[in-house]
Amino acid sequence: MDMTRLRLAELLRLTRELFSAGSPDDHNDPIAAKPLEKLDEKLTAGLCMIAESLGSSEDAILEVLRKAKVEIRRAGRTSDIPRLLLSRMPDFVITGPCGDAARVARALSDAGYKGPLQPVGEASQNHFLPPPGIRVLPAITADAVDTELFAVLQEDGMARGQDGLVSVDLTLAARKRWLQFWYLPKINLRQSRLQGAELVPRIHHPRHGVLEPGRFEITGKDELRVLGYAAIRAAVRDWAAFDRIGFNMEFSINFPADAFHGSEVAALVDGVRPISRRWKGLRIELDAGNQAPNQLQIDAFKRSLQAEEVTLALDHVINAGQIANRGGQFAEVKLDGLLITGCADDREKQRTLLSVLAAASRNNSHLVATGVSRLADLRFIMLNHEAIPFGQGPVFSPAVSRTQFVKLLQSRVRQAGAHT
């Protein structure tokens, strides 16, 4: 019991270090500088003002705005602009071309607006010097409103998903280099040390800050392939940088396996993997909810990747049936946060945990408790389930930017040096 208390105290110390990984220097990191907890307030803005008449294009423009779920406000004439901006500042303004656009830009600037102005009309007429703070976009011709205006709204972060919040096209984000990967630390519960990290995708939008995967617009396998390839490159590329500061860690990625053939992934890893023998390989996590009917495909996928030192993990596991009879397909089984949260008090979850642990033991799979958000649950796991050696979740650290993660590792190297 005393040893468990000591390990828990050490874990809590590690937790404090992880949470304080940022520093005043983080203002140099465009992602780290944005507080995540404040971003949701911005995601509900989405107000577009139509300034003056748009003529024959107006019906098509209104239809695009409705499709993008953008709130609309009208300024019947230029003199209405100061009053409308005083009550609420829009995020985007659409106007007619030529003289209309120049006059509207001046009125917007005088009223304090700083943002994009989208003229609709002949592009050849869109030649004027905008006031400071007004970003005049290339004019869209009337016959191209259906496609081009929606693309502009998406790019500027104005388009909304079904829930009315910002959704950003993943392919666009990759092309604009907005797609980045943050690091979710994995903690060794027995040794109270950092074991590795899972790379989790984020979009850093210039207007809306850091967006999590729920805000990604993914319409098919093409976007999933973009995400999968980017994750593999990031995980392999960053290994050498972390190894240089003394941390040879195994990185993992959550991967849409149904969008790839195993041979494709093997070829990509082979092209970017480090030459060093110190490389621990890459762990690819597959979603347990999608794997039950695809056992043969998983076997083939695994065989294709073995030569590249890629191992598989089964993620989002909530019951023993998802890992029964797997025959060692998965080196690691990640217990979903839904099963972990409240396990200290919930007898049903405790019974489920026992059955999952038994199934994992039969398949020689290591276990990771994910989504650990309560100290009571962490204490319960450490006291009662030594067969769960690893943990992830808010009680240790949220996902952090690359800059924050590097600083965390460097600080631990300095601390280790100070004690030698």
CA trace torsion 366, 349, 12, 191 (10° rounding): -20
Tokens coding 219? 């319409």
Can you tell me which residue has the tokens 């919930």?
346
Beta partners for residue 368, in sequence order? 334, 390
- Per-residue pLDDT of the chain in tens (420 residues, 90 and over written 9): 455 555 666 666 666 665 554 443 343 443 333 333 333 333 344 678 787 667 778 888 888 888 888 888 888 788 888 888 888 888 888 887 656 788 888 889 999 998 888 888 765 455 678 888 898 888 888 888 888 998 888 888 777 777 777 788 888 889 889 999 999 999 999 888 888 999 999 999 887 889 998 888 887 788 888 898 899 889 888 888 788 877 888 899 987 777 777 778 888 888 888 888 888 888 989 888 775 445 656 777 777 777 678 888 999 999 998 887 665 788 899 999 999 999 999 999 999 999 999 998 888 889 999 999 999 999 999 987 788 999 999 999 999 998 888 887 777 666 655 555
Q: What is the pLDDT of residue 124?
A: 45
CA 54 to centroid of chain Cα atoms:
38
Domains, the chain, ordered by start:
2-29+170-418 (3.20.20.450), 45-164 (3.40.50.2300)
CA 217 to centroid of chain Cα atoms:
12
CB 395 within 8 A of CB 15: yes
Beta partners for residue 198, in sequence order? 184, 252
CA distance 71 to 32: 30
CA distance 309 to 270: 10
Q: What is the pLDDT of residue 33?
A: 35
Q: What is the pLDDT of residue 25?
A: 39
3-state secondary structure of 179: strand
Residue-level length of the chain: 420
Q: pTM of the full predicted structure? A: 0.77
Q: Which amino acid is it at 14?
A: L
Q: What is the pLDDT of residue 367?
A: 94
Using CA atoms, how far residue 185 sits from 59, 141, 193, 253, 256, in Å, is 50, 49, 10, 12, 21
DSSP letter at 125 equals G
Tell me how crowded residue 418 is: count the other CB atoms within 10 A of its CB: 7
Long-range contacts, 268-273 (Cβ 8 Å, 24+): 268/229, 268/232, 268/233, 269/232, 269/236, 269/305, 269/308, 269/310, 270/308, 272/232, 272/233, 272/236, 272/237, 273/236, 273/308, 273/309
CA distance 360 to 325: 10
First to last CA, the chain: 29
CB burial readout 58-88, b (16+ within 10 A) else e = bebbeebbeebbbbebebeebebbeebbeee
Q: What is the pLDDT of residue 6?
A: 56
